[in-house]
A and B are shown apart, each in its own frame.
Chain A
């Protein structure tokens, strides 16, 4: 049984449909990467899985239990966290408060300090800036904080939307390496990306186009297939 099972998922904004009925599974302990051009439906997919957008039809099961229809707090309690597009940190709260609020749904409040230390282990920069207002951090630091905040609830599935957007190639690689480490520590990961630099870390690759899934296979399959990269990620990526 897969950790996440998505069947014929449809959703959209207002009356405008975006997802045309997509189906895919993600196995526990793996890293899945969703690629696609702007407007392909990647962010819509993770927002729907996170309960930010309503499910129009189809079904999502997590660890065998139906979660489609739950609201965002219900999804977090089920064990899924999303680091959203645009980071969306709380600018007027300190780094530490941002992290502590990330653990809102946890019942073991006394153990939160350990998870904060774990996050600081992944991102030492955050520890240096723990009393600084999040709004004063650089883009890369805010991305680290958004990911750190998402893992504060100790999710079984971590979704990261546009992890490398706006980051330098070097910083993006640093973020990918940390995400890989989080995955190695036992958290299943879904990354929404346009940056092919994440491919070496992908166990599973999905490609979306116009609200539909056009490729679902192993990461190395996509990496080897120059044609796929050329078709979906452009000439430059295929070289």
Chain B
């Protein structure tokens, strides 16, 4: 993934090549997975739903931000902050729309039906994105264009550094939201006992809408940041690049623990990165993914709830 905003020039020392590069690369790459994983964990924690459309909500948001940035379609050529705002609102709007049109009518359906429905939403969004944007990659919105760190052997862009900071901040804020606020506790309560939640006066429908709105926002943040680091966005791009690693990050970290998405994302990124750097392609092609899934299996066997997860 070219999202890794780091270079390892020829003059880099072996130690740096074997250790520093994978660490920094894994941190940035893993943070992208973690950002996407955060939305996945939120929806799983609140409703026991794995949302297959989460990454594509991010792609759609990034596409709309790009439309606004480039003055495409109904948008005039808007400044970057406004374009980003439009992208974020697109994510929130999509989250709310999916909840109202797909999730709410399936409240009493088996969870597997809801999960399959989110896969349907994913396919619909990919098709709709193709209709609106065309199949060719489109330049993504660039939040920053400078370098955060540049040495003779290492280069980290501002956007790359921003991804890490945003993930850390969002993971902490999300965890505080669930542990310290009444609304966060209410979202957990709805997932555990919807009838009892209604009986104390909490609107299950409003809580569900709020959750999906927040998940949409998280998806949009992930989409805009990831496409910014990659440089382009196209229908299905986030799903193709990051959905599976983000699922892995969520499961590895613990699907009921929001900070787990952060930890899981970073672990996934590092494992992938270390394997890619240290295992030659002719020995094990696709070593990053292979080692990653071996690690995932090990965690699931030894600690099924994930690194930070606990059954609630």
Contact of A97 among B185, B196, B197, B311 (CB under 8 A): B185
CB <8 Å contact, B202 and A90: no
Minimum CB distance partner of B189 in chain A: A90
A105 and B186 alpha carbons, distance in the complex (Å): 12
A90 and B190 alpha carbons, distance in the complex (Å): 9
Chain B residues with CB below 8 A from A82, complex form? 199
Contact of B199 among A81, A92, A100, A103 (CB under 8 A): A81
CB <8 Å contact, A104 and B188: no
Chain B residues with CB below 8 A from A121, complex form? none
Q: Is A208 an interface residue (CB 8 A)?
A: no
A104 and B193 alpha carbons, distance in the complex (Å): 15
Looking at the complex, which of A54-62, A72-80, A184-192, A227-235 is the stretch in contact with chain B?
A72-80
A102 and B202 alpha carbons, distance in the complex (Å): 9
CB <8 Å contact, A88 and B195: yes
Chain B residues with CB below 8 A from A51, complex form? 198
Given known contacts A90-B188, A92-B188, A93-B189, A101 and B202 CB-to-CB distance under 8 angstroms? yes
Chain B residues with CB below 8 A from A84, complex form? 195-196, 199
Given known contacts A92-B312, A97-B185, A104 and B192 CB-to-CB distance under 8 angstroms? no
CB <8 Å contact, B186 and A104: yes
CB <8 Å contact, A89 and B186: no
CB <8 Å contact, B199 and A93: no
Minimum CB distance partner of B45 in chain A: A92
Query: Could you say which of B193, B195, B200, B312 has the most chain A C-beta atoms within 10 Å of its C-beta?
Result: B200
Instruction: Name the interface residues of A140-169: CB closer than 8 Å to any CB of B.
Output: 149-150, 152-153
A89 and B197 alpha carbons, distance in the complex (Å): 9
Main secondary structure of the interface of A (DSSP, over half): loop
A150 and B202 alpha carbons, distance in the complex (Å): 13
CB <8 Å contact, B202 and A73: yes
CB <8 Å contact, A88 and B196: yes
Minimum CB distance partner of A103 in chain B: B200
Contact of A100 among B182, B188, B198 (CB under 8 A): B182
Q: Write out, one digit per residue, whether chain A residues 88-112 have a CB within 8 A of any chain B CB (1) or not (0).
A: 1111110001001111110000000
CB <8 Å contact, A77 and B193: no
A76 and B201 alpha carbons, distance in the complex (Å): 6
Chain A residues with CB below 8 A from B185, complex form? 93, 97, 100-101
CB <8 Å contact, B203 and A73: yes
Which range contains the number of B residues in contact with the other chain?
10 to 19
Given known contacts A73-B203, A90-B189, A93-B188, A104 and B182 CB-to-CB distance under 8 angstroms? yes
Q: Is A50 an interface residue (CB 8 A)?
A: yes
Main secondary structure of the interface of B (DSSP, over half): helix
Q: Is A52 an interface residue (CB 8 A)?
A: yes
A78 and B86 alpha carbons, distance in the complex (Å): 41
CB <8 Å contact, A89 and B196: yes
Chain B residues with CB below 8 A from A149, complex form? 196, 200
A44 and B188 alpha carbons, distance in the complex (Å): 27
Chain A residues with CB below 8 A from B201, complex form? 72-73, 76-77, 104-105, 153
Chain B residues with CB below 8 A from A89, complex form? 193, 196
Q: Write out, one digit per residue, whether chain B residues 198-232 have a CB within 8 A of any chain A CB (1) or not (0).
A: 11111100000000000000000000000000000
Chain B residues with CB below 8 A from A150, complex form? 199
CB <8 Å contact, A101 and B195: no
A205 and B176 alpha carbons, distance in the complex (Å): 48
Instruction: Name the interface residues of A26-85: CB closer than 8 Å to any CB of B.
Output: 50-52, 71-73, 76-77, 81-82, 84
Chain A residues with CB below 8 A from B200, complex form? 76, 81, 101-105, 149, 152-153
Given known contacts A101-B185, A102-B200, A153-B200, A52 and B195 CB-to-CB distance under 8 angstroms? yes
CB <8 Å contact, A101 and B192: no
Q: Tell me the smallest distance from the CB of B197 to a CB of chain A, in Å.
A: 8
A216 and B199 alpha carbons, distance in the complex (Å): 27
Contact of B198 among A73, A93, A152 (CB under 8 A): A73
Q: Tell me the smallest distance from the CB of B193 to a CB of chain A, in Å.
A: 5
Minimum CB distance partner of B312 in chain A: A92
Instruction: Name the interface residues of B45-85: CB closer than 8 Å to any CB of A.
Output: none
A192 and B311 alpha carbons, distance in the complex (Å): 33
A100 and B199 alpha carbons, distance in the complex (Å): 14
Q: Tell me the smallest distance from the CB of A95 to a CB of chain B, in Å.
A: 13
A-B contact pairs, 19 of them (CB 8 A): A50-B199, A51-B198, A71-B198, A72-B199, A73-B198, A73-B201, A77-B201, A84-B195, A88-B195, A88-B199, A90-B189, A92-B311, A92-B312, A101-B185, A101-B200, A104-B182, A105-B201, A150-B199, A153-B201
Q: Return the 10 tightest CB-CB contacts between A and B, nearest first.
A: A92-B312, A76-B201, A105-B201, A72-B198, A88-B196, A73-B201, A90-B192, A104-B201, A104-B200, A90-B189
The chain B residues found within 8 Å of chain A, CB to CB, are: 182, 185-186, 188-189, 192-193, 195-203, 311-312
13 extra A-B contacts, CB within 8 A, seeds A76-B200, A93-B188, A101-B182: A52-B198, A72-B201, A73-B198, A81-B199, A82-B199, A90-B193, A92-B311, A93-B185, A93-B189, A97-B185, A100-B185, A101-B185, A105-B200
